[in-house]
Amino acid sequence: MKLLSTDASADRGGNTNELLSDKQNLRSRPWLGSKVATTALALLAIARAAYAQSLVDAGSLPLVARTAVPVPDSLLLLTFRARRVGVSTYAQRTDALGNLRLSGRQHLRYRLQSEWIYDSRGEPPFVREDYAADALHTVDLGGGWRTGQFARYEQSRANATRTGLWLGRLGYEHGLAGIRPLDSLSVVRYVGFGGVVQDARNGRQDTGVAYGLDFSTLVFVQGAAAPPLALRLLGTRAQLGPRVWQRILAEGYYEHTFDDYSSGSARAAYRAHRAEDYVPGNVQRIQSDTLAGQISWLYRLSDKISFRSDNALALPSRAFRYRRLASEADTLQNLGYQQRELDTRQELRLGSKKLQSMLAFSYRERNRGYQLDNNRLLTPAQYELALARERIRDINEKTTQWQGSLTWLAAQRHVLALTGSAQLLRVTAPSKANQQDRDEAQHALRLTWTGRWLGNFRTSLAVAGEYRQFVFIRAALSAENYTDRLLHWEPGFTWAPGKLSIRSTYHLWVSYQVRDRASEQLRNRASRVLEQQQNLTYQLRPRLLATLDYTRRENRVGLLRWPAFKESPLDTTITHDLSGGLRYGWLGRRPQPTSSSLRVGYRFLEQRTHGRAALVQDAGGSSLIYLRSLTRQQGPDVAYERRAGNLALSATLWLQQLRTLYRYRLGTGSFVGASYTPADLARTTTNLYPYFEMAVAWRVRQW
């Protein structure tokens, strides 16, 4: 499960691409700029960075946007989603996002949010319980000036943290027509803000001031038809008692078209982020600095041949520093690292009516070196020992990759595609105490054929092979060296004659993992996975559809004797998933057009596992058993969907009956691993779990 974070960001709507897109939309469609730019920036710029940035954020709406003021109206979007995640776990998320035109010069943007993860078996039951609210109020003063205020409140009850923020803002915008005659699009924006911030965590409550300055500009160097030069400078700071949160951002982007065949772009950025928090007896400061640049070039040799080059360099550094809160506290050791990241990709493309190909070369290098400050006043011998201990983690990584693809239209209805790749990763550690020196090589080749036949019948067949090598250079870990060989076989077809539609896919992949050392041959493994999916639909009536879906997956793992090419089975897992039902849909026209659908069906899920385990006897001994476990989940499945104007509703319910049981057969010898008692294996479990999911999106009012 993946959940969205509730952390807020100071950089929402502020990067170079957003500045470009905002200005270009207004230039091309002035009537659309007021609606799209304001609505999108106000409602869809959700938080993207950490808590440290949220302390000094002044709101996501640009105070000085050249947009026409729409008629006074309000926009409110409500979203809600709740579902059962597991046997005892539930999750929900609620959002209310709105815009309100208070008058021709005043605007209010607000957001309310809550997110829970609840475990009925936990103590405390809430794994996550977060609440957030913020509001941005702006007033247009005329003459390019705009003022406003921003407030935010965030609380995480599960983590016992709470944050409050209020900032006043003042912004000014002016064009560059006086400097660049006949230029009515280039613009410069200034925004200053300051206020009060409060933060409570770790049993402490701090209150302080927050302030910052934001400068951005768009300059259309080559005229209105070409991309502009974009620059931005941002500085924010929050003083929370003994802690300081600080952020500095400077970035620029420029794209230039040399002629009809070539163009290039350049991007440069510097980011400095200082975050401080409490650790026992100390304040920990994490300083993150990154200097990055990227140059791209595109050249079209002809209509059929093009070349692209992307090159990027980043120099990030991190420092972890500590200062004592009290004289009796023990000072922790300051440390940090410097890193260099180089990334380049060269790509050549050739294309014609029947043949298309691509060849790409990529190289990535990452070097990290650790450093240590002598803030604990260690003796030279102690300091050298501590520094050597940290430098054990120094590491260098180099990745070289070749990629190629070839697509051939062999006939009007038949296509052959061939793709391949070769990659080498080399990891080296300067310290002899670090045993992570290794090489990882991977080669892959895939051939796919797709054919279309008469009667809406389509077939596909894919064959692929992979060869992987994993080699540790140092002798201490050479027992982990292995070679992995993988084969893939993927046939399938689709047939749609009239009201009937059938789709069938199969995937068989085999893996042979062989250890290099003769003493490690008992760790060799052979794995086979066979997966098939069958989907059948039949249109009984114009509004009634019958569906049947079946998925089977079989995974077999065995001990491989590579020289004799034989294997002994170890574990087998077979899963069957069958669901079928009827879906009925209908339309409505009063008071507004609506569409609804109801699906009623039944779902059956079964998983069988065959493997080895240990049976614990009453006397305390254990013996090998061949265990078979069976898990069945089945029950009626109901789903409902409705779209009525600005309302979208969906709800599903699977009334699942869960049953588990075991069977076993005694073997000879002993087994080390999962163990059971006779009472555990004689027990049959039967439970009823209603799995549900509900989602609502309601745009209450819109411009």
Instruction: Please name which of 352, 355, 392 lies closest in space to residue 372, comparing C-alpha atoms.
Output: 392
Within its chain, how far is the Cα of 173 from the centroid? Answer: 36
Contact by Cβ (8 Å): 694, 82 = yes
- The length of the chain in residues reads 703
Check pLDDT > 90 for residue 267.
Answer: yes
Count of alpha carbons within 13 angstroms of residue 633, beta-carbon side: 14
Average pLDDT on 95-113 reads 91
Residues 6 or more apart in contact with residue 410 via CB below 8 angstroms: 416
Residue 424's identity, in one-letter code, is L
Instruction: Please name which of 306, 304, 334 lies closest in space to residue 320, comparing C-alpha atoms.
Output: 334
Q: What is the pLDDT of residue 622?
A: 84
Q: Where are the alpha helices (DSSP H) in 175-220?
A: none
- Using the CB atoms, write b or e for 151-186: b if 16+ within 10 Å: bbbbbbeeeeebbebebebebbbeebeeeeeebebb
Check pLDDT > 60 for residue 4.
Answer: no
What are the CB-based long-range contacts (under 8 Å, 24+) for 485-492?
485/511, 485/512, 485/514, 486/510, 486/511, 486/512, 488/446, 488/462, 488/463, 488/464, 489/462, 489/463, 490/460, 490/461, 490/462, 490/463, 490/464, 491/459, 491/460, 491/461, 491/462, 492/459, 492/460, 492/461
Q: What is the pLDDT of residue 104?
A: 84
Within its chain, how far is the Cα of 130 from the centroid? Answer: 20
Q: What is the pLDDT of residue 201?
A: 86
User: Tens of pLDDT along 459-484?
Assistant: 999 999 999 999 999 888 899 999 99
Check pLDDT > 60 for residue 56.
Answer: no
Q: What is the pLDDT of residue 470?
A: 96
User: Tens of pLDDT along 514-573?
Assistant: 999 999 999 999 999 999 999 999 999 999 999 999 999 999 999 999 999 999 989 999
Q: What is the pLDDT of residue 71?
A: 47
Percent of the chain with pLDDT over 70: 88
What pLDDT band is residue 179 in, cutting at 50, 70 and 90?
low
- Exposed, middle or buried: residue 519 (CB in 10 Å: 0-12, 13-18, 19+)? exposed
Neighbours of 370 (CB within 10 A): 19
Q: What is the pLDDT of residue 33?
A: 33
User: Tens of pLDDT along 389-402?
Assistant: 999 999 999 999 99
**Range with the poorest average pLDDT among 45-54, 131-140, 436-445, 465-474:** 45-54
Q: Where are the alpha helices (DSSP H) in 437-516?
A: none
Q: What is the mean pLDDT of the chain?
A: 86
Greater confidence, 93 or 59? 93
* Alpha carbon distance 514, 526 (integer Å): 9
Average pLDDT on 615-621 reads 77
Instruction: Please name which of 282, 238, 232 lies closest in space to residue 253, comparing C-alpha atoms.
Output: 232
Average pLDDT on 573-580 reads 97
Check pLDDT > 90 for residue 361.
Answer: yes
What pLDDT band is residue 180 in, cutting at 50, 70 and 90?
low
- Exposed, middle or buried: residue 104 (CB in 10 Å: 0-12, 13-18, 19+)? exposed
What pLDDT band is residue 670 in, cutting at 50, 70 and 90?
confident
* Alpha carbon distance 138, 293 (integer Å): 35
Check pLDDT > 80 for residue 47.
Answer: no
Average pLDDT on 448-457 reads 91
Within its chain, how far is the Cα of 216 from the centroid? Answer: 29
Instruction: Please name which of 480, 465, 556 lies closest in space to residue 515, comparing C-alpha atoms.
Output: 480
* Alpha carbon distance 444, 608 (integer Å): 33
Average pLDDT on 374-398 reads 91
**Range with the poorest average pLDDT among 106-120, 340-354, 589-603:** 589-603
- How many degrees, rounded to 5, is the angle at CA 494 between CA 491 and CA 496? 165
- What is the SS3 assignment for 567? strand
**Range with the poorest average pLDDT among 75-84, 474-483, 589-598:** 589-598
54-58, 273-277, 412-416, 441-445: which is most confident: 441-445
Q: What is the pLDDT of residue 37?
A: 30
User: Using the 8-state DSSP alphabet, how is residue 670 labeled?
Assistant: -
Neighbours of 619 (CB within 10 A): 6
Q: Which helix (H) or strand (E) holds 234?
A: strand 229-240
Contact by Cβ (8 Å): 623, 667 = yes
Ramachandran region of residue 241, left (φ > 0), alpha (ψ -120 to 50) or beta? left
What pLDDT band is residue 85 in, cutting at 50, 70 and 90?
very high
Instruction: Please name which of 287, 282, 206, 276 lies closest in space to residue 241, comparing C-alpha atoms.
Output: 206
**C-alpha distances in Å from residue 562, one per residue of 13, 54, 86, 91:** 57, 57, 41, 48
Residues 6 or more apart in contact with residue 90 via CB below 8 angstroms: 82, 83, 84, 116, 117, 118, 120
- Exposed, middle or buried: residue 264 (CB in 10 Å: 0-12, 13-18, 19+)? middle
Count of alpha carbons within 13 angstroms of residue 171, beta-carbon side: 25
Check pLDDT > 80 for residue 590.
Answer: no
User: Tens of pLDDT along 623-642?
Assistant: 889 999 999 999 999 999 99
Return the bridge partners of 318, or none: 288, 337
* Alpha carbon distance 189, 175 (integer Å): 9
Q: What is the pLDDT of residue 458?
A: 95
Q: What is the pLDDT of residue 691?
A: 95
What pLDDT band is residue 64 in, cutting at 50, 70 and 90?
very low
Q: What is the pLDDT of residue 537?
A: 97
Structural tokens at position 367: 């070097």
Return the bridge partners of 412, or none: none
Count of alpha carbons within 13 angstroms of residue 69, beta-carbon side: 14
Neighbours of 656 (CB within 10 A): 20
User: Using the 8-state DSSP alphabet, how is residue 228 labeled?
Assistant: P
